[in-house]
Amino acid sequence: MLKKSLLVLLALAFIMPVLTAEAAYILVPNFRDITSNKIERRIDYKGTDHLSYNGVNYTRWNYEVVDGREDEYIDKYIRKCSSRHDLQLLGRNGSDWFFLYTGGQAKFIKKLGDKFHMHVGISGSHVVVDLVGGMYPQ
């Protein structure tokens, strides 16, 4: 009986950390996939930067539009993100858009500035998509 109790406690010791360490893995539309890049190069992925703001880690995904159709692609991307049931467009400030994730895993991710989970910004042909930890492009 004692051995069975110890085995149950040992099993719980391994299971409990797994249960409490649930991590969000939320996929959002990828800006590079907003248009076909197979025949003609239209959007270049320029890499990521891992940053932090007020203790909230986020990743900046950098893109460069190379065919001069930035406005078309950014409009299409904002519409695609806004059409998702779990992404709410909070608003726009000039060339910056802010989204709130409202899906089932929202309680597992932090907000930037206690306001939003995703930021899309454009400056010339350079586009950035900022995603808090736990969010990734598809």
Q: How do residues 110-119 score in pLDDT, each as one tens digit?
A: 999 999 999 9
pLDDT of 5 reads 56
* pLDDT at 19 (0 to 100): 45
Identity of the residue numbered 5: S
Distance CA 51, CA 61 (A): 11
Per-residue confidence (pLDDT) for residue 10, from 0 to 100: 53
Strands 26-28 and 135-137: parallel
Query: Model's pTM, two decimal places?
Result: 0.82
Look up residue 35 and give its DSSP letter: S
Bridge partners, 122 (sequence order): 127
Q: In this structure, which long-range contacts are made by residues 99-108, counting pairs with CB atoms below 8 Å and at least 24 apart in sequence? A: 101/26, 101/135, 103/26, 105/24, 105/25, 105/26, 105/134, 108/22, 108/23, 108/24, 108/134
Task: Determine the Cα–Cα distance for residues 51 and 53; give it in Å rounded to an integer.
Answer: 7
Which stretches of the chain drop beneath a pLDDT of 70?
1-24
**How confident is the model at residue 122, as a pLDDT?**
98
User: Are 49 and 124 in contact, with CB atoms under 8 Å apart?
Assistant: no
Identity of residue 78: I
pLDDT at 2: 52
